[in-house]
Amino acid sequence: MSVTTPRGFRAAGVAAGLKSGDARDVALVVNDGPDAAAAGVFTTNRVKAAPVLWSEQVVRGGVVRAVVLNSGGANACTGPAGFQDTHATAEHTAATLTASGLEIGAGEVAICSTGLIGERLPMAKLLSGVDAAGQALSPEGGDAAAEAIMTTDTRPKTTVVTGDGWTVGGMAKGAGMLAPGMATMLCVLTTDAVAGRETLDVALRAATRVTFDRVDSDGCMSTNDTVLLLASGTAGVEPSAAELTAAVTAACHDLAQQLLADAEGATKEVAIEVVGAADEDDAVEVGRSVARNNLVKTALFGNDPNWGRILAAVGTTAAAFDPAAVDVAVNGIWVCRSGAAAEDRSKVDLTGRGVTIRIDLHAGVAAATIWTNDLSHAYVHENSAYST
Amino acid sequence: MSVTTPRGFRAAGVAAGLKSGDARDVALVVNDGPDAAAAGVFTTNRVKAAPVLWSEQVVRGGVVRAVVLNSGGANACTGPAGFQDTHATAEHTAATLTASGLEIGAGEVAICSTGLIGERLPMAKLLSGVDAAGQALSPEGGDAAAEAIMTTDTRPKTTVVTGDGWTVGGMAKGAGMLAPGMATMLCVLTTDAVAGRETLDVALRAATRVTFDRVDSDGCMSTNDTVLLLASGTAGVEPSAAELTAAVTAACHDLAQQLLADAEGATKEVAIEVVGAADEDDAVEVGRSVARNNLVKTALFGNDPNWGRILAAVGTTAAAFDPAAVDVAVNGIWVCRSGAAAEDRSKVDLTGRGVTIRIDLHAGVAAATIWTNDLSHAYVHENSAYST
């Protein structure tokens, strides 16, 4: 049930005609309280969509009582008019919910959009969708909401992590443009725990740093990435900061792996484990460099354990390492030792979807894992044949 | 005739069995003087192939009398044994040429290799190839040499630029792994002008900075990139530094465009012209970011003028610009003005091979052009089905 598993939340997902067919495309998540604390993490792309600019302000206010999410249009690169559209959506949502008995201001409504960049949203349809979603709000609405935010996703992504008397729930979308500083994605996490906004902020940043931020499917960063964490306090239990962080991290990890497994056109999920690094930043830099290398990614698509391409990618980084000391294993076979050929590459079995590349820099004790996908014909097809 | 058009040079290209079939795979270029001044630019990848480590030393010595180039194997990531192989090749070449009447030391023989990373070269075949090439040396051998260095290239790349009583000739190979800090490539340039090594070094660095360094076909940097410039002085004419730089730049530009046009699997040659930048570094950073964006590249393959993806790529840079001020034109149609939709994107004609993306940052007067290719099914096929 995703975002509605924690108590104090209702949600809905409806079809408003933003996407072709009868697909759900507008989601609404409402926090009925008693608390309405929230935190958010947004794309670091300097070209930010209107809903990102808006929601950053809302989160800075510290109170989020509702989130409207739409697929079928990103409302990015739409200028001042696009920002007005987002503002109008928040005003309309606040008025609709207030009419139904909640007291909500527009500045407490976060907005998320996803879809094609550069086109205005069909506002009449969107606002009708908000009305319909308001009517459909339900404590069982989490799954419908998760479905409504899908774009090229082939399946909805939801998660539930249970604490001691409290729960974290979540939903996410994202299948392409999955990249650094957060996979291109929208994600709403909810909890019925009691937690102040600072605690939520620390937990969310700690969680995204080691999960969404380390998924790099295609090296492309979106204009719309948004991860929100809302706390209702309904459970009346206040977990420690460490407990909350652990639960939020587990929820983000689960959703991140679902994004990876549903990445556009991918045939492999690839974990790049960098160990023996001088520090964590070095490990992340090396992992990301390998994750973004099109020659490594095409080799994996071709079931080719081409460790030379991996080493060439490592060599483009500024990380501390001696090229003559690097070891590389692919699915457990150490095909490269001390920067040269070692075990027989024909021993490597790449027929499954899961691939683990382990790179030992022999420069320290730090480690990090970056997750990526291969580069396939289907990726090219999906991203060349359709405008997204 | 490429490298043998300038007087004072002989070359050969022979089949030594390093590549399958009867294809030429060993090239030899000899500078008969009277001068033997030289300059070189090498990959900035920290994982450098043995021939790169060797040739860097040779060029530091300032005298290059011969260059041996082989396709069919990169001799990269081959450890100390691989370096010994390169050293032995230089020793053998020097001895062979000395026996034929030239006085050449091993330290005056540069070595270039290209092909699969991580495997030792078949030395018996290679050294026999050097012997055969030494026998075949000819003032008309430039074309055979250019053919012998091809890997996945579909055609040899040669150039001739004529000065006032002197000439620059060149050959290059490279079709994939074309990336920053030099497209993955081997290139030998020759001139019969009189020029000292400092003059050659300045000319070569100025030329590669604005040509090979700005070709970024697939964002992947090789372990073997090498560009050499040899001067024989046979013409007895000493051009000014500016004249020499202009001629070397013209030769590099010509070869770089040939590399771009023959890039693995590409269906488009794309010029990304960044104008209105605060400084040249900003312009290069923005151009490179767009050139490396797989979503932009797949859109171009699909003839889709998806300016939103272009803006999203620009937004990942640290360059000075206001997202609300950026203009983007695709093949002359300004589809984006002030960060939002402008002219009708259906007016953009992307049916030809040549594409020009013009990005005006409105942040200054600096400009730079980065050249790249689209990302096609054929790129994925070529790089997944074959180990290179």
B6-15, pLDDT tens digit by residue?
Answer: 999 999 999 9
Residue A349: helix, strand or coil by DSSP? coil
Which residues on chain B are in Cβ contact (under 8 Å) with A299?
383-384, 387
pLDDT digits (tens, 9 = 90+) for A26-64: 999 999 999 999 999 998 888 899 999 999 999 999 999
Of the pLDDT bands very low, low, confident and very high (cuts 50, 70, 90), residue A174 is confident
CA dist B380 to A255, A376, B222, B298, Å? 28, 6, 18, 11
* Fold that domain B269-385 belongs to in CATH: Ubiquitin-like (UB roll) (3.10.20)
Contact B292, B283 (CB under 8 A): no
- A371 pLDDT above the threshold of 50: yes
Quick one: CA dihedral B261, B265, B173, B130, positive or negative?
A: negative
d(CA A226, CA A273): 26
B339 close to A (CB below 8 A): yes
Quick one: CA dihedral B43, B142, B371, A182, positive or negative?
A: negative
Of the pLDDT bands very low, low, confident and very high (cuts 50, 70, 90), residue A387 is low
- B217 pLDDT above the threshold of 80: no
> Residue B45: its pLDDT value, please?
86
CATH fold match for the domains A2-261 and A269-385: no
Measured in angstroms, the CA of B218 and the nearest CA of chain A are apart by 7
Residue in chain A nearest B43 by alpha carbon: A316
Contact A329, A304 (CB under 8 A): no
Contact B233, B194 (CB under 8 A): yes
Average pLDDT, chain A: 92
B276 close to A (CB below 8 A): no
B82 close to A (CB below 8 A): yes
d(CA B82, CA B119): 9
Instruction: Kindly determine whether residue B309 and residue A339, on different chains, have CB atoms separated by under 8 Å.
Output: no
**From the CB of residue B22, how many other CB atoms can be counted at a distance below 10 Å?**
8
- A125 pLDDT above the threshold of 80: yes
Contact A309, A328 (CB under 8 A): no
The predicted model gives B122-147 an average pLDDT of 97
Average pLDDT, chain B: 92
**From the CB of residue A317, how many other CB atoms can be counted at a distance below 10 Å?**
18
Of the pLDDT bands very low, low, confident and very high (cuts 50, 70, 90), residue A276 is very high
The one-letter code for the residue type at B188 is V
Type and span of the H or E element at B11: strand B9-14
> Residue A196: its pLDDT value, please?
96
Helices (H) and strands (E) in chain B, counts: 10, 15
> Residue A177: its pLDDT value, please?
46
Instruction: Kindly determine whether residue A298 and residue B336, on different chains, have CB atoms separated by under 8 Å.
Output: no
Helix, strand, coil percentages, rounded to 5, for chain A: 35, 25, 40
Of the pLDDT bands very low, low, confident and very high (cuts 50, 70, 90), residue B263 is confident
Write out the two tokens for A113: 């959009």
> Residue A13: its pLDDT value, please?
97
Q: Output the CATH code of domain A2-261.
A: 3.60.70.12
Measured in angstroms, the CA of B326 and the nearest CA of chain A are apart by 10
Which residue of B294, B306, B344, B373 to mutate against A (max A Cβ within 10 Å)?
B294
Which residue of A384, A387, A388 to mutate against B (max B Cβ within 10 Å)?
A384
Which residues on chain B are in Cβ contact (under 8 Å) with A317?
46
Instruction: Kindly determine whether residue A82 and residue B340, on different chains, have CB atoms separated by under 8 Å.
Output: yes
Type and span of the H or E element at A295: helix A294-301
Instruction: Kindly determine whether residue A341 and residue B45, on different chains, have CB atoms separated by under 8 Å.
Output: no
Instruction: Kindly determine whether residue B339 and residue A47, on different chains, have CB atoms separated by under 8 Å.
Output: yes
Residue B10: helix, strand or coil by DSSP? strand
Write out the two tokens for A235: 């459970």
Residue A168: helix, strand or coil by DSSP? strand
Sequence ranges of the domains in chain A: 2-261, 269-385
Of the pLDDT bands very low, low, confident and very high (cuts 50, 70, 90), residue A305 is very high
Question: ipTM score of the complex?
Answer: 0.80
A211 close to B (CB below 8 A): no
A294 close to B (CB below 8 A): yes
The helix-helix angle for B79-99 and B123-136 (nearest 10°) equals: 30
**Nearest by CB: A295 against B177, B315, B381:** B177
Among A298, A279, A97, which Cα is nearest to B381's? A298
> Residue B265: its pLDDT value, please?
81
d(CA A190, CA B111): 62
Instruction: Kindly determine whether residue A312 and residue B82, on different chains, have CB atoms separated by under 8 Å.
Output: no
Instruction: Kindly determine whether residue A316 and residue B117, on different chains, have CB atoms separated by under 8 Å.
Output: no
Instruction: Kindly determine whether residue B375 and residue A380, on different chains, have CB atoms separated by under 8 Å.
Output: yes
pLDDT digits (tens, 9 = 90+) for B328-384: 999 999 999 999 999 999 999 999 999 999 999 999 999 999 989 898 888 788 777
> Residue A180: its pLDDT value, please?
39
**From the CB of residue B365, how many other CB atoms can be counted at a distance below 10 Å?**
9
pLDDT digits (tens, 9 = 90+) for B226-248: 999 999 999 999 999 999 999 99
Among B132, B95, B93, which Cα is nearest to B112's? B93
Quick one: CA dihedral B371, B377, B382, B385, positive or negative?
A: positive
Does the annotation count B184 as an active-site position? yes
Residues 355-374 of B with CB under 8 A from A: none
Which of B86, B96, B159, B184 is catalytic? The answer is B184
Contact A355, A375 (CB under 8 A): no
Q: Is A184 part of any known ligand binding site?
A: yes
Q: Is B388 part of any known ligand binding site?
A: yes
Write out the two tokens for B112: 């270039």
Among B328, B169, B180, which Cα is nearest to A293's? B180
> Residue B322: its pLDDT value, please?
94
Of the pLDDT bands very low, low, confident and very high (cuts 50, 70, 90), residue B181 is very low
pLDDT digits (tens, 9 = 90+) for B77-133: 999 999 999 999 999 999 999 999 999 999 999 999 998 888 899 999 999 999 999
Active site residues of A: 184
Q: What is the DSSP string of A227-250?
A: EEEEE--TT-----HHHHHHHHHH
Contact B239, B193 (CB under 8 A): yes
Q: Which residue has the higher pLDDT, A302 or B200?
A: B200
- B182 pLDDT above the threshold of 50: no
Among B224, B227, B256, B39, which Cα is nearest to B113's? B224
Of the pLDDT bands very low, low, confident and very high (cuts 50, 70, 90), residue A351 is very high
Of the pLDDT bands very low, low, confident and very high (cuts 50, 70, 90), residue A215 is confident
A155 close to B (CB below 8 A): no
Measured in angstroms, the CA of B196 and the nearest CA of chain A are apart by 32
d(CA A93, CA A133): 10
> Residue B175: its pLDDT value, please?
63
Of the pLDDT bands very low, low, confident and very high (cuts 50, 70, 90), residue B178 is very low
β-strand partners of B228: B40, B188
**Nearest by CB: A302 against B321, B323, B385:** B385
- A179 pLDDT above the threshold of 50: no
B98 close to A (CB below 8 A): no
Name every residue whose Cβ is closer than 8 Å to that of residue A233 and which is 6 or more positions away in sequence: A8, A33, A34, A35, A37, A192, A193, A194, A195
Q: Which range has the worst mean pLDDT, A180-189, B62-71, B263-272, B342-351? A: A180-189
Query: Using the 8-state DSSP alphabet, how is residue B282 labeled?
Result: H
> Residue B387: its pLDDT value, please?
55
> Residue A176: its pLDDT value, please?
53
Q: Which range has the worst mean pLDDT, A155-159, B183-187, B286-290, B306-310? A: B183-187
Instruction: Kindly determine whether residue A223 and residue B48, on different chains, have CB atoms separated by under 8 Å.
Output: no
Of the pLDDT bands very low, low, confident and very high (cuts 50, 70, 90), residue A158 is very high
Contact B307, B296 (CB under 8 A): no
Name every residue whose Cβ is closer than 8 Å to that of residue A65 and which is 6 or more positions away in sequence: A30, A31, A33, A36, A97, A102, A104, A108, A109
d(CA B251, CA B162): 10
Which residues on chain A are in Cβ contact (under 8 Å) with B321?
46
Residues 37-66 of B with CB under 8 A from A: 45-48
Share of chain B above pLDDT 90, in %: 76
Instruction: Kindly determine whether residue A336 and residue B118, on different chains, have CB atoms separated by under 8 Å.
Output: yes
Name every residue whose Cβ is closer than 8 Å to that of residue B286 and which is 6 or more positions away in sequence: B274, B277, B314, B317, B319, B321, B359, B361
The predicted model gives A131-155 an average pLDDT of 95
Angle at A360 between CA A359 and CA A364, to 5 degrees: 135
Q: Which CATH superfamily is domain B2-258 in?
A: L-amino peptidase D-ALA esterase/amidase (3.60.70.12)
Q: Is B383 part of any known ligand binding site?
A: yes
Mapped to the 3 state alphabet, what secondary structure does B124-188 carry?
HHHHHHHHHHHHHCECCCHHHHHHHCCCCCCCCEEEEEECCCCEEEEEEECCCCECCCCECCEEE
Measured in angstroms, the CA of A385 and the nearest CA of chain B are apart by 6
